[in-house]
Every structure is written in structure tokens, then in C-alpha cells.
């Protein structure tokens, strides 16, 4: 079974080719250098760049996978959530290819794709609990079986990735600031007192209060030549990851999963990766930490999700 998958929900143009359960190609063309100039993603520019990039990305993916168009069995694409203009470009290309090749089209949810990135190299066991941490979402999701997604908790305002990017921007770091704060974290000292946001017994998150507390401290220090941005990065990352881990442990205690995984761009964070492993060891749970290439947006995760949908569809026929 050969699947071609397209991901274009934000600022990465990506095409993957999957043969049975094996990824043969996962080409990602990042637009970050263009959006950096504006301090964040400009939706109209992102759509135009997807349109320009798709041809090259498609050709590279097909060449790398050594696949002919007539060998493809399915076309999968990210249908939601994401920037509407960007999603439309991906959908248009997917629909055109599927109709030209006369093969089925599989629409896929981006967040579900992030979760299934973990199933590329590992098998799920159920119940499986996932902490989804991307630029737009922060959720705890429980799967009692394949493709059944129960949202246990979600952010009430900003997503954790968004808070890394916004706090980083206040510190003068380039977009996306998450990886920069993470690099600084390892070098700095935890010297700033920041509040643990929404540290209650619910499974929901809130990051806007933490962002305001950071804005106040950064503003107070604007004329202070000794203000240490590296130490501030360390303090911020410790608090942001601590609250994610507190909620993850609450969900483990309440739902008793057999597997815990992390998903989405922030799962590339070194502290989130090591803390998740530590918590899984403490609770004797199988732990899946996705490969770095599958953390941020990519089409391989969409191909893997589509593969599961096809297996399920075939099973029901």
C-alpha cells in the first residue's frame, strides 16, 4: 500500500511517501527564514510560498522514494486545523492528484497526525495517553483504541509553543523562539521567580498569566544592564515544562494508561523529553518520545495517520 501525504497547515511545506508502514521519503521545506523577518507567520505569505514550493517538494519526495505516480494507492492531506489559505493549497493539490490518478483521498486532522507520529516506529498499546504540545494546541488526549481521541484537558488561552514564542519575542529572540529558549535553558541558572500557571487539580492549562508575569519582569528590567536573558530562559522553561508534567501526572493517576507519549513541536524540547521519560519510569509505563524529525510539522505523521484510517476502513468492509 503506497500513500502520498501532504502537510501544509502552517509554515512547513511537506510531502511524505509511505510504503506499507515504512516512510520512504519525508521532505520538509521550511518557510521560517521568510517569516522570521516579521516575528511570526504571515498567513498570506505562507499560502503563496506553499504554492511555489509544492512542485519541488513533490518531485524530491517521489525521487527519494523511487516511486512512480501510477504506483500510488492513496493521497492523504491535512484538512484541519491550520491557516485556512495554507490548508486550501494542500487540499487543492491533493484533490487534483487523487482525481488525476483516480485514487481515494484521505483528509486528516493535524493534531491526530502529531499523535500518530509516535506510531511510525513504535506500536501503540492502550489506553494510550498523549500530551500534545504544539504552537497552536496544548491538550491531554486519551486513546482507548486506535483513532478514538478523547480530549481530557486543553488550554483555556495560549498554547505552550505560542508562549515560548511570545516570551522569546519579548526577550528579542527570533521566531520561532522555542528552540532558542531550549538552548539557553541548558546554559542558564533558574534565578527568576515565575508563577506556576493554573496549578490546580483540573486537566486544563492556561499560559496567558505566565506570559503576563514574564512581560512584567522583562519590562521592569528594560534599563537593567545586568538582566540575564539566558537565566530568564531557564526560569521560564522550568515553569512551562513543570506545569505540563504536573498535569500529565494528574492524568496518569486518574486514567491509568499503559502508554504515555508526547506530540507536537514542543516535544522537541530537551527538558520535556527527559521529564516525560522520568515520569514514565516512575509510573512503570511504556513511553514514546518521537524522533526529532517527527516532532515539528511533517507529512510523515499524516501518512501514518492515513495508514491507520485505511486499515480501519478495510476492516469495516
Interface residue list for ligand KG4 (CB under 6 A): 10, 134-136, 161, 164-165, 176-179, 182, 264-266, 268-269, 296-297
Q: Would you say 28 or 239 has its CB closer to Zn ion?
A: 28
179 binds, among Zn ion, ligand KG4, none (CB under 5 to 8 A by kind): ligand KG4
Question: Least distance (Å) from ligand KG4 to the CB of residue 9?
Answer: 7
* Least spacing, CB of residue 179 vs ligand KG4, in Å: 4
Q: Please provide the DSSP assignment of 67-124 as one string.
A: --GGG--EEEEEEESS-HHHHHHHHHHHHHHHHHHT--EEEEEHHHHHHHGGGSSS--
Sign, CA torsion 33/34/35/38: positive
**With contact defined as beta carbons under 8 Å apart, do 77 and 108 qualify?**
yes
**∠ at Cα 67 (65, 297), nearest 5°?**
45
Nearer Cβ to Zn ion, position 164 or 232? 164
**Rounded Cα–Cα distance for residues 120 and 290 (Å):** 9
- Reply yes or no: is the peptide bond before residue 110 cis, omega within 30 of 0: no
The alpha carbon dihedral of 271, 204, 124, 4 has a sign of negative
Single residue of 133, 134, 184, 267 touching Zn ion by CB under 5 A: 134
**Can residue 8 be called a binding residue for Zn ion (CB under 5 A)?**
no
89, 269, 297, 302: residue in contact with Zn ion (rule CB under 5 A)? 297
From the list Zn ion, ligand KG4, none, pick the one residue 197 interacts with, judged by a Cβ distance below 5 to 8 Å according to partner type: none
x/- letters, 251..290, toward Zn ion (CB under 5 A)? ----------------------------------------
Residue 251 or 297: the one with the smaller Cβ distance to Zn ion is 297
User: What's the Cα-to-Cα distance from 139 to each of 76, 112, 163, 256, rounded to whole Å?
Assistant: 24, 11, 15, 17
Secondary-structure breakdown of the chain: helix, strand, coil percentages, each rounded to the nearest 5: 50, 20, 30
Could you say whether residue 112 binds Zn ion (CB under 5 A)?
no
Alpha-helix residue ranges (DSSP H) falling in 171-255: 178-187, 208-220, 229-255
Pair type for strands 128-133 and 259-263: parallel
Q: Which does 7 bind (CB under 5 to 8 A by kind): Zn ion, ligand KG4, none?
A: none
Query: Which of the choices ligand KG4, Zn ion, none does residue 171 contact, using the CB cut-off of 5 to 8 A by kind?
Result: none
CB of 259 to ligand KG4, least distance (A): 21
Minimum distance from residue 234 beta carbon to ligand KG4 (Å): 13
Provide the minimum distance between the beta carbon of 278 and ligand KG4 in the complex, in angstroms, as a whole number.
17
Q: Which is nearer to ligand KG4, 47 or 269 (CB)?
A: 269
Nearer to ligand KG4, 287 or 296 (CB): 296
> Which is nearer to ligand KG4, 114 or 198 (by Cβ)?
114
Q: What are the residues whose beta carbons fall under 8 Å from the beta carbon of 57, sequence distance 6 or more?
A: 13, 14, 15, 27, 28, 29
Q: Which residues of the shown chain bind Zn ion in the complex (CB under 5 A)?
A: 134, 297
Amino acid at each position: 500500500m503506497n500513500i502520498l501525504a501532504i502537510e501544509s497547515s502552517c509554515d512547513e511545506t511537506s510531502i511524505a511517501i509511505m510504503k506499507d508502514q515504512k516512510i520512504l521519503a519525508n521532505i520538509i521545506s521550511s518557510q521560517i527564514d521568510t517569516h522570521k523577518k516579521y516575528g511570526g507567520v504571515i498567513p498570506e505569505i505562507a499560502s503563496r510560498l506553499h504554492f511555489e514550493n509544492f512542485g519541488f517538494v513533490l518531485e524530491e519526495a517521489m525521487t527519494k522514494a523511487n516511486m512512480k505516480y501510477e504506483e500510488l494507492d492513496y493521497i492523504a492531506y491535512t484538512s484541519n486545523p491550520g491557516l485556512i489559505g495554507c490548508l486550501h493549497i494542500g487540499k487543492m493539490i491533493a484533490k487534483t492528484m487523487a482525481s488525476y490518478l483516480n485514487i481515494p483521498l484521505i483528509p486528516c486532522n493535524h493534531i491526530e497526525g502529531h499523535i500518530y507520529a509516535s506510531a511510525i516506529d513504535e506500536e501503540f498499546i492502550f489506553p494510550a495517553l498523549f500530551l500534545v504540545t504544539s504552537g497552536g494546541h496544548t491538550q491531554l488526549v486519551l486513546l482507548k483504541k486506535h483513532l478514538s481521541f478523547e480530549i481530557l484537558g486543553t488550554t483555556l488561552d495560549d498554547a505552550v509553543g505560542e508562549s515560548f514564542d511570545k516570551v522569546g519575542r519579548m526577550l528579542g529572540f527570533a521566531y520561532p523562539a522555542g528552540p532558542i529558549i531550549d538552548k539557553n535553558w541548558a546554559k542558564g541558572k533558574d534565578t527568576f521567580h515565575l508563577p506556576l500557571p493554573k496549578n490546580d487539580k483540573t486537566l486544563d492549562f492556561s499560559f496567558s498569566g505566565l506570559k503576563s508575569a514574564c512581560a512584567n519582569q522583562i519590562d521592569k528590567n528594560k534599563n537593567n544592564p545586568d538582566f540575564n536573558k539566558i537565566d530568564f530562559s531557564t526560569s521560564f522553561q522550568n515553569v512551562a515544562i513543570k506545569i505540563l508534567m504536573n498535569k500529565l501526572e494528574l492524568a496518569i493517576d486518574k486514567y491509568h494508561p499503559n502508554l504515555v507519549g508526547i506530540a507536537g513541536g514542543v516535544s522537541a524540547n530537551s527538558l520535556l523529553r527527559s521529564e516525560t521519560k522520568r515520569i514514565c519510569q516512575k509510573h512503570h509505563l511504556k513511553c514514546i518520545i518521537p524522533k526529532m524529525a517527527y516532532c515539528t510539522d511533517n507529512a510523515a505523521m499524516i501518512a501514518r495517520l492515513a495508514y491507520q484510517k485505511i486499515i480501519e476502513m478495510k476492516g469495516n468492509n
